[in-house]
Amino acid sequence: MASSLRVATHMAAASCFNQRRHACSQQLTKASGLFHPLTNRRSSNSFRLAVGASQSSRVQCTHVRDVNTEELDHLVTGERDTPLVIDFCADWCGSCDILSEQLEELAEEYDGRVRFVQVNTDQEYDLADQLEIRGLPTMVFMGKDKAKRATRIEGMLSVDTIRQLIDDVADLHS
């Protein structure tokens, strides 16, 4: 009984991330000011995995928010009271699904001290093209201070590496 409950819970949690990817259906808009200095690094353990997303039962997720181009522009160019982690993902990307689970856990761990958002590159194609998002997942880590350089990384990362990158740009330990 406990084993089947764990399997059902895991399946519900996994489908949660697929639901969030389909939530954004707003019109694509071009926004200015989205280009910020980025440090572009490719993770050493980068890999691509394409798997079909499950369309089974849906559960609402709350810690990582889906945003469109207009919302992202506001978050990047507007006043920020918390550091920002942006995950560029796609429905068909298996690595993105795994990363979504990790980000959900990290968002809960950081408990509002860091804002986590996702941009679906299939739905926000013009933005992905403008920002030259070529590999998925791609993550951008931005501190509260807009003058401080952001960090951009393509590929799958371990939770510890993501945590270290967040702490570096967020200056949470200073």
Q: Which residue has the tokens 């639901």?
A: 19
Q: What is the pLDDT of residue 21?
A: 34
One-letter amino acid at 154 equals: E
Arithmetic mean of pLDDT, 64-92? 95
Active site positions, annotated: 93, 96
DSSP 45-73: T----B-PPP-S------SSEE--HHHHH
Q: CATH code at 101? A: 3.40.30.10
158-167 — which CB contacts under 8 Å span 24+ positions?
158/45, 159/102, 159/105, 159/106, 161/43, 162/102, 162/103, 162/106, 163/106, 165/139, 165/141, 166/83, 166/85, 166/106, 166/110, 166/114, 166/141
Total number of domains constituting the chain: 1
Q: What is the pLDDT of residue 171?
A: 78
Q: Provide the residue range defining the domain that includes 140.
A: 2-170
Q: pLDDT averaged over the chain?
A: 74
Q: What is the pTM of this model?
A: 0.67
Predicted confidence (pLDDT) per residue in 3-37, tens digit: 444 434 334 444 443 343 333 322 222 333 344 33
Q: What is the pLDDT of residue 26?
A: 28
Predicted confidence (pLDDT) per residue in 73-82, tens digit: 999 999 889 9
Q: Pick the residue with more confidence: 121 or 2?
A: 121
Predicted confidence (pLDDT) per residue in 116-160, tens digit: 999 999 999 999 999 999 999 999 999 998 888 899 999 999 999
Predicted confidence (pLDDT) per residue in 119-130, tens digit: 999 999 999 999
Q: Is the pLDDT of residue 48 over 80?
A: no
Q: What is the pLDDT of residue 84?
A: 97
